[in-house]
Amino acid sequence: MEKIKIGGYLINVDYDDKLIANHQCVGQYSSIEQKITLATGLTKQQEKETLIHEIIEAIDDIYELGLEHDEQLCKLSAIFHQIVTDNKNTISALMFCD
């Protein structure tokens, strides 16, 4: 199981083959379990998009941002996915900045 640290919380990232049965729910974040669950069977692009979306859901919850799901959170997810996908060299360079 992979882990990601957000705001001092260690969030588990796991996969569940039951999520794919409901195509409208391919990922979910649980603040109670401190866990992001992704559906199995996703393409790499869908997996990356969904993980980014669930990370932003976790940030919204942890920092109590109050983002509106469709108008703000979904749009931010799409924007961040595009930035990460189209700017791999810049993202890699950020990893090494002090």
Query: What CATH number should be reported for the domain holding residue 22?
Result: 3.30.2010
Model confidence, pTM = 0.89
Q: Is the dihedral of CA 11, 2, 48, 25 positive or negative?
A: negative
- 29 forms bridges with which residues in the sheet? 36
Query: How many domains are there within the chain?
Result: 1
Q: Which domain holds residue 39?
A: 2-95
pLDDT digits (tens, 9 = 90+) for 4-58: 999 999 999 999 988 875 667 899 999 999 999 999 989 999 999 999 999 999 9
Return all residues near 91 (Cβ < 8 A) that are at least 6 apart: 83, 84
> Residues 60-72: pLDDT tens digits?
999 999 999 989 9
* Two structure tokens written together for 46: 């869908």
